[in-house]
């Protein structure tokens, strides 16, 4: 085994936890350094190549694990995640495994999202809650009988965009500031049988994003699994591009920041109808005022 490690400020702890959550073949340990405003992030990897991939992405150092530490063995691969009665999220990219799951679960859309260095494997509470919201919203939009479009801000692994398309969205657009996340999202879409024109992924920073005139009132559903400060800055834009009466799904909000964050959305005309707290994370969905 090999260990990748890096020192970071304590204020970035939550970001590191999200980044390394559920990576399958890695085991992340975050330790606070006594008397310092720093943390040490260590990721235990099965291969040197995997550790070097992390180093190239985030800096830090790589060293071999000289003595086998059983307390830091990677966790067993998680079983598929069931979302409502509609989705099954599998961490495998083995075609035989995915085919078997589709035979065993004919009423669910099986989505293959193998662990990679992009956030969103479905097992983190923020992603899982967004998926549940998305299933409920897709059913409501289906009852309305109108074609609908989705915009996914901060797509990570592409899981919410892929889920939206498989749940019935006519067109899906998605973006992330991280070029690697965009590449992984495209790979995951192809892995799940979706062509490039069915989901349009783009490298874009939400903070710099300026909605085009054609986007005004376009999307029946906007999903945004982002940190609260980014959401706060994005709410005016989200309100502009969401169709009147359309749905907005937000997550990635720390509990102690939720009230201020959701208030910022309310001021832009997003009326939150359901707020869910799981541990220290808050997710919510609402609708944009009829204009």
pLDDT score recorded for residue 73: 46
The full set of domains in the chain, from first to last, is 2-72 (3.30.70), 120-288 (3.40.50.150)
Q: How many whole angstroms from its chain centre is CA 69? A: 31
**Alpha carbons 116 and 114: distance in angstroms, whole number:** 6
pLDDT in the model for residue 71: 44
- Distance (Å, whole) CA 157 – CA 152: 11
Q: What is the pLDDT of residue 67?
A: 55
Angle CA(72)–CA(73)–CA(75) in degrees, nearest 5?
110
pLDDT in tens, the chain (291 residues): 788 888 888 877 777 776 665 444 346 777 776 666 788 888 877 788 888 888 888 889 998 876 544 344 444 456 899 999 999 999 888 899 999 999 999 999 999 998 765 566 677 888 999 999 999 999 999 999 989 999 999 998 999 999 999 999 999 999 998 888 899 999 999 999 998 789 999 999 999 999 989 899 999 999 999 989 999 999 999 999 999 999 999 999 989 999 999 999 999 999 999 999 988 899 999 999 886
Distance CA 102, CA 122 (A): 18
Give the pLDDT of residue 119. Answer: 65
Distance of alpha carbon 53 from alpha carbon 275, whole angstroms:
37
pLDDT of residue 266: 97
CB 3 within 8 A of CB 31: no
DSSP annotation of 142: H
Vertex 20, ends 17 and 41: CA angle to 5°?
70
The per-residue pLDDT for 25 is: 37
10 Å Cβ neighbour count for 284?
A: 22
| Strand ranges (E), the chain | 2-9, 26-32, 38-45, 61-64, 81-83, 87-90, 109-112, 149-153, 171-176, 199-203, 219-225, 242-254, 270-278, 281-288
- Name which of 31, 67, 74, 30 is nearest 50 in CA terms: 74
Model pLDDT, residue 26: 46
- Integer Cα distance of 265 and 228 in angstroms: 11
Is residue 239 classed as helix, strand or coil in its secondary structure? Answer: helix
pLDDT at 88: 96
Q: What's the rounded Cα separation, in Å, for the pair 247 and 271?
A: 9
Residue 246 parent element (H or E): strand 242-254
């Amino acid at each position: 085994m090999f260990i990748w490690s890096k020192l970071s400020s304590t204020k970035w702890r939550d970001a590191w936890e999200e980044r390394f959550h559920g990576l399958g073949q890695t085991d992340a340990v975050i330790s606070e350094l006594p008397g310092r405003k720093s943390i040490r992030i260590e990721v235990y990897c099965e291969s040197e190549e995997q550790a070097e991939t992390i180093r190239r992405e985030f800096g830090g150092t790589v060293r071999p694990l000289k003595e086998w530490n059983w307390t830091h063995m990677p966790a067993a691969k998680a079983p598929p995640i069931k979302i409502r009665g509609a989705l099954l999220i599998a961490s495998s990219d083995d075609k035989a495994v995915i085919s078997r799951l589709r035979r065993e679960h004919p009423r669910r859309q099986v989505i293959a999202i193998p662990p990679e260095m992009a956030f969103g494997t479905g097992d983190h509470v923020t992603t899982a809650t967004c998926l549940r919201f998305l299933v409920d919203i897709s059913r409501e939009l289906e009852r309305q009988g109108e074609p609908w479009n989705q915009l996914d801000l901060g797509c990570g692994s592409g899981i919410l965009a892929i889920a939206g398309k498989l749940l019935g969205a006519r067109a899906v657009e998605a973006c992330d500031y991280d070029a690697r996340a965009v590449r992984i999202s495209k790979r995951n879409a192809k892995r799940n049988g979706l062509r490039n024109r069915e989901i349009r992924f783009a490298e874009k920073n939400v903070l710099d994003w300026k909605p085009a005139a054609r986007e005004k009132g376009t999307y029946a559903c906007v999903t945004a699994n982002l940190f609260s400060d980014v959401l706060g800055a994005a709410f005016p834009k989200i309100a502009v591009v969401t169709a009147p009466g359309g749905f907005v799904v937000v997550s990635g909000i720390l509990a102690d920041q939720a009230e201020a964050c959701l208030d910022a959305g309310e001021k832009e005309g997003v009326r939150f109808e359901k707020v869910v707290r799981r541990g220290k994370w808050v997710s919510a969905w609402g609708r944009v005022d009829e204009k």
